[in-house]
Structure 1
Amino acid sequence: MSAQKDCEFLVKRARELVSDDPCAAKAWLITARTLYPADFNIQYEMYTIERNAERTASAGRLLYDMFINFPDQPVVWREISVITLLDVVGGLVPPTHEPVKTPEEQGKAKNKPRKGQNDLRLLPCTSKAILPFCLQLMFACFKLRVFTDSRDDLSLGHVVVLLQHDWPQGESLFLKALDKIIQQASFQYENFFNYVTNIDMLEEFAYLRTPEGGRIQLELLPNQGILIKHHTVTRGITKGVKEDFRLAMERQVSRCGENLLGVLHRFCLNEKIMIIQSLP
């Protein structure tokens, strides 16, 4: 067996153990790192386990080691960028009102740099300017991951939340996300009612629950799986859950006037760990 296959086997074994026996998974990776100290995948897997377990001190040390030993790995720079980005957002005070784009600003947004040119942006050091730019960068981190053949409801939910900022320009991507949900025939994102306040999006998701919309199974309420078991009656008709969903939608419509940047700022602050864990 080649060294590369050995490394792949050790990483695979650790992944299989991490949910049931994280200590054993860690032991496998420590052994793997001792045998193959120059293998990036082993060290990144160690970092991922520590990061997802929210052990920030050890995760930070591992990330620093990767930065020193593997500075050419794009994954390392992406990880650093997202963490830095969320820290920047956390230090901002969201604007008290939505910024209104002038026709001149809208025209500038359409003028993309030509291929092969670098895009240097100079922003005022204000929350009004920096927060939207950070949201765009965060959206870019999830965009390519979401629109693939693999299923990732959590990242797809993050994309739906972030697409609100670029509305209605982001409507085509939102419809693409809806198509994926329809193909899956189900969608689970329990933070939906915390952060989605766009009336057009709410209408589309409400439509998915109707017979005309395909009766898509949407789990958008916290602990909805438990609620389904609680409300299921003799013939399996989840009347209580349908009523909960309807009431939640009605309450959400009343929030459509909220300051969107404030909502998205809370999303970045409250879900920071989950956002980082959602990265591949």
Structure 2
Amino acid sequence: MLIVVAGSTGLIGRTVVSELREAGHEVRRLVRREPAAEDEHEWDPASGTIAREALDGADAVINLCGSSFQGRWNAARKRRIRASRIEPARTLSEAVAKHGIPTLLNASSLSFYGNTGDVAADETSGEGSGFLAEMVVDWEAATAVARDAGSRVVLLRTGLVLSPDGGLLSLLRPPVQWGMGGRLGDGRQYVAWISMPDEIAAIRFLLDNPDISGPVNLCAPDPVTNGEFTKALGRALRRPVLLPVPKAVVRAVLGEAADELALISLRVVPRVLCDAGFTFRHTDFDTALADVLRPSMPDR
């Protein structure tokens, strides 16, 4: 297949490009600068422009664009979070429709469901409330042009991706390694996670299964609580996890973002993937952490 990837320099994008090429696919990368390699093609999602030849003959487009949710939010940061997702999705959806490209896989987030508490949500569940949930609704809606034109659109609602190379795990490791890690708040909020190998395998699975469209939850079948997550990270890093972080402290550090990132409960399950026969490599959180962290673990 000839696959065009946007967001190819991000945590997931780098691995997707490498894995697709190893599998024998031809990959073109969209970049927002002067192309520096044969496989690069310039685009500007803010203005809706893409190099004319970038999508010629493409079988699929994978859009993984989006700036990080992490950190303290203000009005400008929230505008960037929205624009970095909605503008690329709209531009690519229109291009997919114009070129008659059969498949668009567009990044999305489990934040769609808002705070699920102790109730397990799947792809049939409705949207939640809050800035991120509302943003995801608009993000996914930006792909409607491609869907209405007859292209297969898959919405990759991704959870916390376990990787030693970046993402939330890279932020959580140092405090635990320094003996300062602990559960956030009461620790009962759920974390929907997926290992990087399963994230990439799921994307490839969805590329190869033309009968699947719409939202797909990319997360392991067994979400864990924040308390379980923190204890498992301590075990994996061979460090004690002793000091819980009160909700007031989390909110003081993260402000508005605290209740949608650190303290939110996302108990979400991957019904579509499981029903379609996808086999997860990692379903146990301890095993997933050990496998992901093993290459970078210090000798003891």
Global fold match (TM > 0.5):
no
Q: Over alpha carbons, which structure has the higher Rg? A: 1
Higher strand fraction (1 or 2): 2
Higher helix fraction (1 or 2): 1
